[in-house]
Chain A
Amino acid sequence: MNHDLKERLFFLLLRLVTYSMVLVIGFILFDIVRKGLPVISLGFLLDAPRQSGAEGGIFPAIVGTFYLVIGTLIIALPLGIASAVYLTEYAEQGRFTQIVRMAILTLAGVPSIVFGLFGLGLFVIFCQFGASILSGSLTLACMVLPTIIVASEEALRAVPQSLREGSLALGATKWQTIRKNVLPYAVSGMLTGSILGIGRAAGETAPILLTAAAFYLPKLPTSIFDQVMALPYHLYILATQHPAAHKVIPMQYGTSLVLLTLVLGFSMSAILLRAYFRKKYRW
């Protein structure tokens, strides 16, 4: 039948489009793995760059990214989780809650380079932290805060109401209830959701461009007021600003692969953890 044929053709088109996107993603990953893998060696991972990145490794950049991620985590995680607890457990529907929600949505939409400008104006210049791990982490923390809040809220809402009611009925205060009967069951969900946000922080370039990153530092940072090297920034400079950019292409692929592995590793582990915890807690 003619109509039937049209339908099947259309469905085939949808399937083709969807799978071609999958193919493109596959190709990007494949290309970076294929050309990056030969570069990866212990020396590449554990040496400092030599000859402005043309030789040696990327160890300081890995360490720098690690410091920035830890810094971001320390600032954003408690703040995000506390906000989520307030919003799900305490907040009444009203003006204030509405404004908080509006603010979170606004933050989620602010372009990363604007976070960079903001970090430059507030942390680097006004607070006089200079371009440093502290400024970079604070800037990244502001950026990932909405992700962490939304993920934590979801985890808190998944805890059945009856657990709260049981505790309150036994005479526990609100905070006791939250601490003993809600948070322990939500913590896994909050962490996995937050890992996704943290992965994003590890891969961002624009916010640290103006607040933390340096292309080459002779030694590893020793305090939170030091500048750092970071993987995304290292890759950006190697690919666009390096005087012999096409000669260091293997180094670029190697750096890409390490960064990609790190970021996707975060996401994958979050997805796997989520699946594991979903099986563990079933209400």
Chain B
Amino acid sequence: MLSVPARSPSPSTRHVSSSPSSLERSASEPLRRFLQVARGAGLRVSAAEGIDAARAVDVVGFADRAVLKDTLSLVLAKTPDEKHLFDECFELYFKRDEFASPDAVEPPLPEPMAAPDAMVSGDGVGGQGGSALGQMLLNDDRAALAAAMEQAARETGLENIRFFTQKNLYARRILDRMGLRAVEREIEALQSRGTEEAIVRAGRLEARLEMLRDALRDFVERHLVLFARGETEAFREELLKNARLSNLERRDFDRMRVLVRAMAKKLAARYAKTRRRRLRGQLDVRRTLRRNMGWGGVPFVTVWKQKRIEKPRVLVLCDVSGSVAPMAQFLLMFLYAVHEALSDIRSFAFAGSLIEVSDVLEKHDIEAAIDEIMRTIGYGSSNYGNSLADFEDGWGAFVTNKTTIIILGDARGNRTDPRTEIMARLSQRAKRIIWLNPEYRSAWGTGDSDMYRYAAYCNVVTVCSTLRHLERVVTDLLEQAA
């Protein structure tokens, strides 16, 4: 139930009263259900927005469908995506034409549910030998049928539907609730009576019952789409974010890409530019005096301390050899998104040797880029020493004291020479070296893993096997001040 908003009325005149009774009476039920539907469809509607929606509808009223749609769109949908979702949702929900006859005149409006007298519930057996539902079917009373369906749906709790396997179950329940038993008995009774007129009547009842069943299935399906879609999407996204990248398959590619791109965009928005964080409250005395020399040192203009947070300069080395092959594709996808997001980043891929892939990632679209990289250098046999040597020879000069180097790999070199002295040199010149290892910690150092040899020269070494890990690492990376 919606409650009166807690804010006190403002001084200016308002020509609409917001008394509790008027709110509850006029706007509550259909609006509340619509909000539930909207949430189910994926719109994030907070409690405050729900209250705002109620107040807004109170101001404009339910009369004009277009105005109602605009109003709710203003209050509930706050991004372009949400606006689309809202439009779909509104159209789906406020459609009442499952029984639409060609000459239907009224626009589809939500009937205020405060008129239950026209509806029949349960298995009422009224009238002369006919059931109430049977009467409605025979008279083709569409409005009453629609209303009865709504009521039955509410009573059986259709809003709890979550999976498509429940469709038939709910359809059956609603039909029962509407009075199926009584109609079936009536049909039997008519057929057993045997007269011409009775048989015709029975036939017509059966036909209409079939139509009702079809309409009901559609109705339930629409509700499934409205109520369940949002939640299942959110659930799937959570799964993907926390899944081990090596376990994912090609078909999750597209969805991952959307997630990765969203993440990269978020990071870019925060960290793309040099930020200057002003520390108000701390007077920079030296600068203040300097600035005010013209007035003889009297501090007319104050200068406050500020911290400059510079854009990070990043070099990423990504292992694409056979041992990390399942994961390599997703790592490259992540790299692609980060390239889109950050401007000052260069990427390299290596297995037995090392090549720069920044151009490929920037020029081609993601599928083509990943294919090309994997074709050129992927699935090879790892040789970390050789790759590091290639890197130092070709791009060692780009490593300055502002650079951060990130290495994504499992440090398994197939017992080749690890060339740790190169790492030593790089760590002296670079600001930081971060190593992200997709294996569990317990596997480090076993077999041909040189992890602990390299770890000595790295600032940060962590496990990184899911999208969440990646996100956390990148966020931490970007948080650091220059």
Q: Do A and B belong to a common assembly?
A: no
A-contacting residues of B (Cβ < 8 Å)?
Answer: none
